Amino acid sequence: MSAPGQFAELRLSEAQRASFLERVRAVVGADDYGLIEGMSYALPELIELIEQDPMTLRKLRLLLFGPKTEKTKQVCPPAAAPASVPASSQPKAKGHGRTKARNYTGARWVQVPHPELQAGARCPLCPHGTVRKQKSPAVVLRIVGAPPISATGYQMERWRCDTCGEVFTAPTPSEAGSQKYAPSVGVTVALLRYGSGMPHYRLAKLQQSLGVPLPASTQWEVMQPLAQQAQPILEELITQAAQSPLIHHDDTTRRILDLRRPDSATAVPMDPQRKGTFTTNLLAYVEDHPVALYFTGWQHAGENLAAVLRRRGADLEPPIQMCDALSRNLRAEFQSILAHHQIHSQSVLEQLQAWMREQIDGKLVEPNSGLGQAIGYMLRHWQPLTLFLRQPGAPLDNNLCERALKMAILHRKNSLSYKTLNGARTGDLFMGLIHTCRLNGANPFDYLLAIATHAEAVKLIPKTWLPWNYPKPPASIDSS
């Protein structure tokens, strides 16, 4: 807050202002005089505002210059809809409307026969017609809630002979299974943590409150066998992804606590030159099927890409590599074709390049400003940025990889860190399989459950158990 009288020397009477302006008029031009005259009238009002209200530098800057950022809706307001087009005919915003019944692929569908009619039966309304079964059944959906992990207890009667003391127990029903935890428990835990970002402790609290306790340590114990069973599939996916003609990759930071605690019993020796740990996403294609792979550790994206490309066939052309221009994303030991972003046409590109060089060479833009740095970045990486003009098949952007990294970021925001390197690799495996399922339209729960219940078959021929070709049960409703 300003002290009273702090701006006394800036207060002018009308006579003083007139005398001041006369002196200024004699030594400056007409344009400059107009600015100074306006400031002489505005200054007293500004002083009054400062003295009446505690004034910080931020408030003063806002008062003088207005908001720093310009909102898109203020600079480029959306165009109004033509008056001749009725509002009811305008397309609905994406994400609105009813969900179609065929999208409930995970529902349990029950076939309900008609209680009175069958093929060839007479029409109940007219005496001459016969009824025919329609291809599309009527559909009613009933959606119910349930705990993520539910439990069923079986109480078998026991009878004891009052003479010999022998106890006779009713046989355990087959649906009780042979193990306390069904394979679906590990599948659900993996999907909740690595597919939706729910850490073990949070699921444990939820299950405790719902009357089906599932401690965090137990969650890991029931999930770890599934990770071991799925490991051959991950290795097969890495090998096939290495043959992809196009590979997207990027990374994000990720903490592994044991790598920061050298005295930990589970710590893995880390290169002392390394300062951080990361999660890398590689997104490649097996034929037309996208594959998402995750790698967490101290290696950067370029190093993880190099490890994958060691499995690439020697007779194949180098892949198109989609990444940003960070040096850590590039490895000299493998030749690759770099592409980064989208520009629409060669003529526009040539005009843009000429304009950028004019701004820099003509000193029209400060090189260290935001615009100057952006221009410098584009000019330095002009050849890879415009690769799509010369290389067939080069993508327009790296958005697929950026979206895939959101899974790792979601997990980081909720679970904060991994404890061990083994835990990180388990997370990489499940994130890769879950996101690959989503990219290929497969149900990740059904897929992971199939792996859990066919461990021997998966181990024998893993390439027949990929998310797009694994054996599926027949559909119980017409998907059309």
Higher pLDDT, 70 or 468: 468
Instruction: For residues 132 and 118, give the distance between their C-alpha atoms in angstroms, rounded to a whole number.
Output: 8
Distance of CA 360 to the CA centre of its chain: 37
pLDDT at 444 over 80: yes
Domain ranges, ordered by start, for the chain: 8-62, 216-340+395-464
Mean pLDDT over each residue of the chain, to the nearest integer: 81
pLDDT at 46 over 80: no
Other Cβ atoms less than 10 A from the Cβ of 50: the count is: 17
DSSP 87: G
pLDDT of residue 329: 58
Q: Any idea which of 146-160, 222-236, 310-324, 371-385 has the lowest mean pLDDT?
A: 371-385
Highest mean pLDDT among 42-46, 105-109, 165-169, 388-392: 165-169
Higher pLDDT, 398 or 377: 377
pLDDT of residue 68: 56
Higher pLDDT, 341 or 204: 204
Residue with tokens 């410098």: 376
Does the global pTM surpass 0.95? Answer: no
Instruction: For residues 44 and 16, give the distance between their C-alpha atoms in angstroms, rounded to a whole number.
Output: 13
Query: Among 384, 270, 260, 276, which Cα is nearest to 328's?
Result: 276
CA angle 231–236–237, rounded 5-degree value: 95
- What residues form DSSP beta bridges with 251? 280
